[in-house]
């Protein structure tokens, strides 16, 4: 019988949680690694480790027969040079320890479309033509995604496992307190607008409002990485991971406002970043928690204004091609509007945001 014991590093994040869910649905044994376990995931065996410390990793995994690694975490640093050093070390440490303690069959690395856009400090400075394709050359900047890829390739050759890399766009899905989750951020923003009467105004650039874009449903990401981990054709390949449809924010924004009960405001013609406009969010949210019996979070525990501002503030069109996966047999698809609406519904059911009307 094929060994299928997964170690998911970063299991509490949006990519890790949804990877765990997809693997459990398919009968895998799942071990989740994180620095803490705020909310246990049913069916996942949790281990705690600091992946900047090899001894900590070794203590967590020794004796475990891990066949597949899913590396889904990162730590933001002040500069891209530091991003490369820290995030490269985290992956190198993990692979070094697993090389001593188990025999990996396959390792999956989740990165993102900054592979094509460049790092935050040179974001979209040398934009590639859309749609982004996996065959495109790297952009000429330091990028911790490239550092991690090179570590993965070298260790795969050294240890004898296969690999796959996934490059999602903005991820939408269930995960709380995660920097990359635009869906939760927009749910908090829209709920505040609905409660205060403020207008739900698109905060980003004209290029993002009017250009073609796409997103990644985290549930689809989970299914895609599960596929690549076991599909022979997918071995030693990089894949874009997006929903499979495209849209314009000027079309999507009114649908989100309607779902959240917020009145959409007229776009002013320029960005109005959320990070600058929502310094009152925690005060408003405390009132909503009390009035609606919500779970006791601060708005800033749930929303990541800066990351959503970065995504929606781009001045270049951004969407990715999925042909490579399609030709290899991955035909999954997700309508993007339901990525948001399904998430909003769950946030309401879990008493994270006020009940939707």
Instruction: Name 46's bridge partners.
Output: 32
What whole-number distance in Å separates Cα of residue 305 and Cα of residue 9?
Answer: 25
CA angle, residues 288, 13, 152, in degrees to nearest 5: 160
- Catalytic pick from 114, 116, 189, 297? 114
Over its C-alpha atoms, the chain yields an Rg (Å, rounded) of 20
What separation in angstroms does the CA of 79 have from each of 86, 87, 153? 11, 12, 24
- Catalytic pick from 116, 123, 141, 145? 145
**Inter-residue contact 8 to 70 (CB < 8 Å):** yes
Cα 335 to its chain centre, rounded Å, is 17
Instruction: Name 213's bridge partners.
Output: 247, 318
Place of tokens 């895998």: 28
What separation in angstroms does the CA of 353 have from each of 86, 159, 357? 35, 46, 12
Q: Is 114 a catalytic residue?
A: yes
Report, as residue numbers or ranges, the catalytic residues. Answer: 114, 145
């Amino acid at each position: 019988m094929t060994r299928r014991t997964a170690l998911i590093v970063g299991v509490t994040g949006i990519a890790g949680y949804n990877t765990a869910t997809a693997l459990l649905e398919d009968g895998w044994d799942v071990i989740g690694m994180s620095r803490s376990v705020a909310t246990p995931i049913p069916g996942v065996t949790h281990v705690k480790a600091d992946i900047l410390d090899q001894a900590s990793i070794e203590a967590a995994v020794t004796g475990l027969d891990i066949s597949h690694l899913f590396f889904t975490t990162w730590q933001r640093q002040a500069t891209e040079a530091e991003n490369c050093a820290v995030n490269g070390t985290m992956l190198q440490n993990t692979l070094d320890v697993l090389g001593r303690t188990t025999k990996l069959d396959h390792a999956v690395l989740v990165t993102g479309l900054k592979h094509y856009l460049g790092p935050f400090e040179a974001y979209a400075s040398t934009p590639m033509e859309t749609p982004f394709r996996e065959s495109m050359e790297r952009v000429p900047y330091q990028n911790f995604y490239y550092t991690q890829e090179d570590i993965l390739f070298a260790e795969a050759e050294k240890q004898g496992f296969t690999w796959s890399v996934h490059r999602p766009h903005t991820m939408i899905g269930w995960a709380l307190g995660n920097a990359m989750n635009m869906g939760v951020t927009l749910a908090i923003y829209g709920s505040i607008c609905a409660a205060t009467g403020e207008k739900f105004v698109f905060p980003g650039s004209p290029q993002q409002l009017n250009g073609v874009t796409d997103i990644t449903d985290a549930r689809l990401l989970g299914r895609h990485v599960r596929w690549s981990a076991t599909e022979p054709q997918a071995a030693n390949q990089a894949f874009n991971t997006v929903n499979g449809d495209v849209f314009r924010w000027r079309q999507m924004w009114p649908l989100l406002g309607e779902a959240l009960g917020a009145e959409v405001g007229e776009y002013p013609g320029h960005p109005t970043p959320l990070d600058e406009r929502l310094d009152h969010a925690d005060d408003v949210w405390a009132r909503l928690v009390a009035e609606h019996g919500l779970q006791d979070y601060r708005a800033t525990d749930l929303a990541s204004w800066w990351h959503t501002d970065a995504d929606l503030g781009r001045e270049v069109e951004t969407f990715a091609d999925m042909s490579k996966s399609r030709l290899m047999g991955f035909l999954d698809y997700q309508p993007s509007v339901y990525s948001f609406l399904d998430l909003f519904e769950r946030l309401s059911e879990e008493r994270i945001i006020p009940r939707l009307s």
